[in-house]
Structure 1
């Protein structure tokens, strides 16, 4: 087994009124879990800026979805519309498969990333490029009901070493409108260093990562295993079962 503590005890002085005994504050010893994940704390100004930059980046995706939907309806009716004159080139984000929408899709992708890191799978040469990609997860945590539907993304983001960006309230409607969808709770995006995405990439770099010091320490330093030791005691005594 690994030499990693499961629990630690910390001294937590409680000074609330109901814990006071004859004017003396009680000191309570708490047993807490070492393997906790701290949510990234982002200021309201940075969170709003991240949402605005994200909407600007994903707006071409929503426009392309809208044109694709209209052209699909027109093809069924065999009618010529003005859509043929519109430039319907697929946005680079979609063409390069750098965007995923929905909690389920983001969860599957994070699990694949964690598994690839664990198995040390090499990326094919045709998928390599000179672009610097910054992966990030944007989550509308304040708009999700019930909120525990996205609680697992915190753990997966830490294990995959991906930043988790909580957006301000009412961001779900803004992102859904930009993508021409009804509802968007979570979004995974690999941000490149292009002119359109540069502001978003710089804003993401300002955001802190998921706090998991125990995970970073154990990933950077290999832990030695303790050999299993079984001690056998010899005795000449007899054991009788009690009826």
Structure 2
């Protein structure tokens, strides 16, 4: 295990919807908790090349999970403080926040067994800059349109990890398959919440055209490490081009 603790990209919510991973009781969260309990992050399951590549890529994934917890938590707090009748929406948002916490902790567990590479701090800074830019919006509606689009991208990225050179039986590929299931649900929640806030189809199309190239720029900084795992970013993003057309 490495003896250096990485700083978080984003702080944990001040008033989280769940205080412990034990409170994350969804079926898929339980599967991820079981994965963690079996210590499938252990270095014995990973080749040196895999460890080197994942050491560059997991900081990108962690930054997204940590940002998502804040976004969903902030919206929960806003709705709870408002006069809106939104109990159903709040419940769905709380489930997403809890699932993002589980993803965060599982990926942190993997990170704990990886080498700390020299570029880690710079990778985190680039990722944090991307998510902060994503959050510069004119309305809550616009923000959740972007979140729905981003979660579509994350779902595809996790699919690519699941079916990468690692092989379906690889522990990290299996974890990514579990995370993918949650992220697909998060797309649905974010999309419907954006529509609840007033989004229409033209907003999704316009924001899709903005989010995709920015995300591609961020991930391309680590293209060699994606390719080492058999993930070709151009092909991945070609699959995303028409998702919101």
Instruction: Tell me whether the two structures share a fold, i.e. TM-score over 0.5.
Output: no
Larger radius of gyration: 1
- The structure with higher relative contact order (CA 8 Å, sep 6+) is 1
Higher percent of residues as helix: 2
TM range (shorter): under 0.3
Higher percent of residues as strand: 1
Return the TM-score normalized by structure 2. Answer: 0.27
